[in-house]
Amino acid sequence: MIEVRNLSKSYGDVTAVEDVSFRAERGEILGFLGPNGAGKTTTMRVLTCYLPPSSGTASVDGFDVIEESMEVRRRIGYLPELPPLYLDMTVSSYLNFVAKIKGVPSSQLKSRLDETMEKTGVAHQRNNVIGHLSKGYRQRVGLAQALVHNPSVLILDEPTVGLDPRQIIEIRETIKGLRGEHTIILCTHILPEVSMTCDKIVIINEGRIVGEGTPESLMSQLKEGEVLRAQIIGPSDEIRELLKGIDGVLDVVGEDETAAASDGGEQAYIVTVAPGHDIRDLVAKSVVDSGHGLRELRGLEMTLEDIFLQLTTQGAEG
């Protein structure tokens, strides 16, 4: 359904995306994940024919984004980070306006508007002015404008940014309800959105793909024991510096910062380790040799956050 091959995009001497390749299958929700500035939005703008690539190719439903851009646009619904809303229009008049622009036939106009508003949960707001709606409902109207012409592909760029927890859950459930009917690319840096919504993950960092697969397959690609929990007695600042100085350690976070830990009491630390490094013996020796007390050292099951940190840290260092 969506295929990106060796895609690159540069702005003068600055390369925003370099040699990116991935696929999204029909009916799949693909999470396009990366830190801010990683190249997510640039990639989405190329896919939506807003920007031309510097090199490489991208196609939607078999149509090339350069050679057949009008066919691609007909098949895509796009929700940018800032929804393109006219705040002085009512929900129904705005969606009617968008549907006509997108070529929805007059004979299908009413049914498409009714179905779209129902799917996105704004039917009861149809006669309200958009500028009077909450941010969560405005986001729903933005999703409705992307969906109103029944595209085969939806590209959603940070659809839950700035929303409160309840609104995030509502938008997430709405997106999940579209699975199977549309191929969806969910572009975000919010990890829970990906783990709770997506069938497949593509992780980008500094313009390059650094990981791809399901959360389960990504975890299986990395060895067990790469996240450690160490319970250590000693001043927290000294312990963190000691652990960070061990070869292969990517990050050290205190599990629960307390005054006791700062004063030399007992504290648990979560240690993220680079793939291929088994540092348990080295951690134990370093802690004991430094005169600190080691109360516990064990591996933890990896989470999506651990995977994200490892892959994006490796990319940044490489």
pLDDT at 36: 83
Statement to judge: residues 63 and 118 lie in one domain? yes
Percent of the chain with pLDDT over 90: 63
Instruction: Provide the pLDDT for residue 262.
Output: 55
The answer to whether residue 307 sits within a structural domain is: no
140: domain CATH number? 3.40.50.300
Together in a domain, 228 and 208: no
Q: Check whether residue 58 and residue 127 sit in a common domain.
A: yes
Q: Is 188 exposed, middle or buried (0-12, 13-18, 19+ CB in 10 A)?
A: buried
Given this model, what pLDDT does residue 316 score?
47
Q: How far apart are CA 298 and CA 315, in angstroms?
A: 27
The answer to whether residue 318 is domain-embedded is: no
The pLDDT tens digits of the residues spanning 238-274 come to 999 999 999 989 889 887 654 445 566 888 998 988 7
Q: Are residues 205 and 61 in the same domain?
A: yes
pLDDT at 318: 41
Task: State whether 69 and 90 are in the same domain.
Answer: yes
57, 172: one domain: yes
Do 95 and 146 form a contact (C-beta atoms < 8 A)?
no
Q: What is the pLDDT of residue 293?
A: 92
Residues ≥6 apart with Cβ < 8 Å to 215:
194, 195, 201, 304, 307
Does any domain span residue 317? no
Query: Of 172, 199, 220, which residue constitutes the final position of a domain?
Result: 220
Q: Are residues 166 and 266 in the same domain?
A: no
* Whether 58 contacts 9, CB under 8 Å: no
For residue 259, the model assigns a pLDDT of 43
Same domain, 195 and 229: no
pLDDT value at position 263?
A: 61
Q: Based on the domain organization, do 6 and 58 belong to the same domain?
A: yes
CATH number of the domain residue 274 falls in: 3.30.70.60
Domain holding 287, by residue range, is 223-301
SS3 275: coil
Shared domain check, 163 and 73: yes
> Do 138 and 279 fall within a single domain?
no
The domain total for the chain is 2
pLDDT-based confidence at residue 225 (cuts at 50, 70, 90): very low
Q: How confident is the model at residue 302 (pLDDT cuts 50, 70, 90)?
A: low
CB burial class (10 A; 0-12, 13-18, 19+) of residue 318?
exposed
- Asked if residue 211 is part of any domain, the answer here is yes
Average pLDDT, the chain: 88
Both tokens of 189, joined, read: 């840096």
